[in-house]
Amino acid sequence: MGIESADEVHDRTESGIPPIKRIVVNGEMPPVRVSQGEANGAPTHIAESFVIDQGAMAPAWTEERMKVESLGVRFDRKEAVKDVSIEVNSGEVLALIGPSGCGKTTLLRSLNKLVDLTPTAVRSGRIMLDGQDTDLMDDTLLRKKVGMLFQQPNPFPMSIFDNVAYGLRERGTKRPGKKELEPIVVDALERAGIWAEVSDNLSHPALSLSGGQQQRLCIARSLAVRPEVLLLDEPCSALDPISTAIIEETIVELKSEIAIVIVTHNLQQAERVADQVGFMYLGDLVEYGSVEQVFNAPMAERTKDYVRGDFG
Ligand SMILES: Nc1ncnc2c1ncn2[C@@H]1O[C@H](COP(=O)(O)OP(=O)(O)OP(=O)(O)O)[C@@H](O)[C@H]1O
Ligand SMILES: [Mg+2]
């Protein structure tokens, strides 16, 4: 990629607002990421968009996995998520931040249609996975491709091995034997960063592991079925700082192969692990951009207040 092949576009608005700079290399100009609240008004921010040829030059980390288009979720009359559009890319960690009750979990649970299991939930808009409308996909298949981890680790009351093998055994009619499963289980435990701690006894009960180990075991269980996207809903909130650091390290290592969305109340954690950040407030996606932009140069006043810790 030669930067000299780029077209540079500088727009200056009448109000003296700083320029929007876009560099386009062999591609179409994408919509600039803007705060939804400002989408219909004058631009009030600097934005940079880079489009790189989606051919061999494109690094894996820019690949789009999921696209959320105008997602709305209501529970009875309560609007939990309002007209949210966002992308989930492999090679990136997307952190969703925002005060309690702003719709982070609801957005996350929409990505694998878990929210549809709530009888009062009404969902609108479209969610695409690899270009396919998730509403046209089989729910079980979708949930294998889009795995989810919760705040409290929830290993099954069985051995470490059987926990990780669980999803593989559920697949298809012919149950694979232990020999067949072993390399996949070991690989998943290695990728989840827990192999060294459990390798001596995989028949050990999962419930006897520490909270941090249980959470990494649950990551291994999700990874074993080869998901494309991993959804993590406050995965470290019940863990001590050391376990948290190990899980954060695991997240960063996994992002080269998997798209990760993490909901967190811990802003330092979002800064440490995220590439993109979405700030939600009362169901709106107020701001969505790179971690540097959202934390160092937030566009919306609400984001500014939140990342400064003025409310939460
Ligand atoms: N099953 C449900 N039935 C009714 N209302 C719900 C349900 N789940 C969520 N809500 C409502 O939707 C809104 C968003 O909730 P959600 O759990 O998505 O927020 P959140 O940002 O994850 O909050 P927290 O940070 O506290 O986990 C809240 O007002 C909540 O009360
Ligand atoms: Mg939540």
Tally the residues of the chain.
312
* β-pair partners for 229: 146, 259
Return the ligand number nearest the Cα of 233: 2
54 located within any domain: yes
Domain match, 165 and 221 both: yes
Output the pLDDT for position 305: 95
- Whether 106 is in the pocket of ligand 1, judged by its Cβ within 6 Å, is yes
The pLDDT of residue 15 is above 90:
no
Domain match, 151 and 51 both: no
226 located within any domain: yes
Transcribe 246-287 into DSSP letters: HHHHHHHHHTTTSEEEEE-S-HHHHHHH-SEEEEEETTEEEE
pLDDT in tens, 267-290: 999 999 999 999 999 999 999 999
**Residue 57 identity:** M
121 located within any domain: no
Distance of alpha carbon 13 from alpha carbon 28, whole angstroms: 22
User: If we measure between CA atoms, which residue out of 257, 201, 249, 205 comes closest to residue 228?
Assistant: 257
Domain match, 206 and 282 both: yes
Distance of alpha carbon 312 from alpha carbon 298, whole angstroms: 16
Mutation test of ligand 1: which of 74, 76, 78 has the most ligand atoms closer than 8 Å to its C-beta?
78
Domain match, 54 and 166 both: no
Domain match, 168 and 251 both: yes
Domain match, 44 and 96 both: no
Domain match, 171 and 272 both: yes
- Whether 278 is in the pocket of ligand 1, judged by its Cβ within 6 Å, is no
Ligand 1 atom nearest residue 263's Cα: 22
Distance of alpha carbon 215 from alpha carbon 223, whole angstroms: 12
299 located within any domain: yes
Distance of alpha carbon 233 from alpha carbon 230, whole angstroms: 10
Domain match, 162 and 295 both: yes
Ligand 1 atom nearest residue 106's Cα: 18
Tokens 């991993």 appear where? 230
Which domain range does residue 45 map to? 1-58
Q: Which is it for strands 229-233 and 146-149: parallel, antiparallel or unpaired?
A: parallel
132 located within any domain: no
SS3 159: strand
Q: How far is the CA of 201 from the centre of ligand 2 (A)?
A: 35
Output the pLDDT for position 137: 96
Q: How far is the CA of 105 from the centre of ligand 1 (A)?
A: 7
Q: Tell me the CA distances in angstroms from 283 to 49, 75, 242, one per residue in order.
A: 26, 12, 33
Domain match, 42 and 95 both: no
Three-state SS annotation for 62-83: HCEEEEEEEEEEEECCEEEEEE
Output the pLDDT for position 203: 97
Number of domains in the chain: 2
- Whether 100 is in the pocket of ligand 1, judged by its Cβ within 6 Å, is yes
Q: Which helix (H) or strand (E) holds 16?
A: none
Domain match, 50 and 95 both: no
Strands (E), the chain: 7-11, 20-24, 48-51, 64-75, 78-89, 93-97, 121-129, 132-133, 146-149, 229-233, 259-263, 276-281, 284-290
Least confident residue range of 45-49, 98-102, 234-238, 261-265: 45-49
> Whole-prediction pTM value?
0.80
- As given in the structure block, the two tokens for residue 142 are 């979708």
- Within 10 angstroms of residue 207's Cβ, the number of other Cβ atoms is 13
**Residue 243 identity:** S
Domain match, 157 and 302 both: yes
Q: Are 43 and 13 in contact (CB under 8 A)?
A: yes
162 located within any domain: yes
Q: Are 90 and 228 in contact (CB under 8 A)?
A: yes
**Residue 240 identity:** D
- The CATH number of whichever domain residue 297 belongs to comes to 3.40.50.300
Q: Tell me the CA distances in angstroms from 64 to 146, 259, 287, one per residue in order.
A: 14, 9, 19
Phi then psi dihedrals of residue 221, to 5 deg: -60, -40
Domain match, 92 and 50 both: no
Alpha-helical segments (H) within 28-131: 104-111
pLDDT in tens, 193-248: 999 999 999 999 999 999 999 999 999 999 999 999 999 999 998 888 988 999 99
66 located within any domain: no
pLDDT in tens, 58-93: 344 568 999 999 999 999 989 999 999 999 999 999
Output the pLDDT for position 257: 87
- Whether 43 is in the pocket of ligand 1, judged by its Cβ within 6 Å, is no
72 located within any domain: no
For CA atoms 153, 159, 160, 162, the dihedral sign is: negative
